[in-house]
Amino acid sequence: MQPLSHIDREAWRFINSVSIVTVSVDGVVNAMSAEWCAPVSLKPPLIGVFIGEERFTRAFIERAQTFGVSLLAEEQAWIGRVCGRYSGREVDKLAEFNIPTEPAQYIDAPLIAGAAAQFECRVLDRRVYGSHMLVVGEPLRAIGNPDKQAIAYSRGRFYRLGEELPE
Ligand SMILES: Cc1cc2nc3c(=O)[nH]c(=O)nc-3n(C[C@H](O)[C@H](O)[C@H](O)COP(=O)(O)O)c2cc1C
């Protein structure tokens, strides 16, 4: 297998949703944008998120027993930008950028208010694959908002969902 540096940039055409992963350790809360966050299993329901080794979130998720996943809605791309541009090492993102949050029921970290969907997860497993750690979580609570549309992210840009393709 060839390393990523030898992969044609044009091959990187993945389209992902945008989640905000929230983690709380010793009363400190951090929020990070994650496009690599996806379902892993339906029975039981499991969610996986990949956290890069340089992320402030990485040390948090290595210690935390729980984490939150909030799938951003159309008017929330700005939250994806700031939580993906700044590090919790330098700034308290939630406070500094007035990111709307609400308390969770089963986990310490808050969730993003007004999100398209929210998951409160218990850490089930962690495994390192190269630069990223896959953290698998079991949702203790999952809430979707039918009035909100989730957004997409591809090659550094945010999109709203377009037309459904005909069969
Ligand atoms: C839309 C978007 C999606 C991102 N997805 C991921 C991801 O899935 N995993 C990851 O490790 N970093 C991802 N990043 C980069 C981190 O969010 C970024 O490095 C962030 O500043 C890390 O914050 P932290 O240092 O407070 O943990 C993404 C960035 C953006 C803008």
Q: Where are the domains of the chain?
A: 15-155
Distance between Cα 165 and ligand 1 center (Å): 30
pTM score, two decimals? 0.96
Q: Which residues does 68 contact at the CB level (< 8 Å), separation at least 6? A: 20, 21, 22, 23, 104, 107, 109, 110, 111, 118, 119, 120, 121
**Residues 74-123: pLDDT tens digits?**
999 999 999 999 999 999 999 999 999 999 999 999 999 999 999 999 99
Distance between Cα 167 and ligand 1 center (Å): 35
Q: Which CATH class for the 15-155 domain?
A: mainly beta
**Residues 124-151: pLDDT tens digits?**
999 999 999 999 999 999 999 999 999 9
